Amino acid sequence: MKNMVLITGGSRGIGLAISKLLYKEYNVVNISRSPGIVKTYISDLSDPEDLKGIGENIIWREGVPDILINCAGYVNPRGISEIGGRDLADTFNINFVAPVILTKLFVKYNRSGGKIINIASTSGQRASPGWSVYGAAKAALINFSLSMVEELKPYNIQVYCVAPGRCATDLRRKLAPEEDMTKIMQPEEVAEFIKYLVEEPGLLSGNVINIKKTLL
């Protein structure tokens, strides 16, 4: 029986590349705003209560995941004077609150260990003028991941936090529309590293792992 992987944002960008790489060897289930190449439960992850219900439904229908990959991301680049309340809420809900909710469900039902892989961003480790709320949400995800490393040890759950640098995704195109996407890291390169983490014995759990094109 294949191990189950629950991924968010698996219909585009890095999430889609991960789904393509894993689905032949794992039972991959996706939560995203549009259908992916694997079984998908539709949600934009901006509504915490709706996401909690979807997560419970997935566990009831598909079983308890062995691996949780929080990959969904959202950004609408705005300076502090321009960002509105809806964008503020969506940015934090999708990038940070959604991983917290799914982690709670993962811990609630998982009784045999497992892995959580959170996809953050190097923007959460540096100044991000013009898209500071996105950077702040990713910084929150980084800190949350490090805290979960210690908190979930009694459950035998390994926690990883991956912070990709510049990567050729639709999200990156919003942040840097003039950038040459052929010269930066590709989603497939990130996906290869995530697959390695899915399969490695836990030696890298507990670290914030920055990955850039020069390191892949």
Domains of the chain, earliest start first = 4-215 (3.40.50.720)
pLDDT of residue 215: 41
Distance CA 35, CA 138 (A): 25
Q: What is the pLDDT along the chain (216 residues), one digit of tens a residue?
A: 799 999 999 999 999 999 999 999 999 999 999 999 999 999 989 999 999 999 999 999 999 999 999 999 998 888 888 888 999 999 999 999 999 999 999 999 997 899 999 999 988 899 988 889 999 999 999 999 999 999 999 999 999 999 998 877 777 777 677 778 888 889 999 999 999 999 999 899 998 999 987 644
Q: Tokens 């929080």: give the residue.
A: 70
Confidence at residue 214, expressed as pLDDT on a 0 to 100 scale: 60
Look at residue 167 in the predicted model and tell me its pLDDT: 78
Identity of residue 165: G
DSSP at 3 = P
The closest of 42, 137, 45 to 88, measured between CA atoms, is 137
Tokens of 179: 């950038």
The arrangement of strands across the sheet holding 27-32 comes to 39-42, 27-32, 4-8, 67-70, 114-119, 157-164, 208-211
Residue among 139, 164, 142, 161 at smallest CA distance from 214? 164
pLDDT reported for residue 48: 96
- Which residues, including other chains, have CB under 8 Å from residue 29's CB and lie 6 or more apart? 4, 5, 6, 7, 38, 39, 40, 41, 58, 62, 65
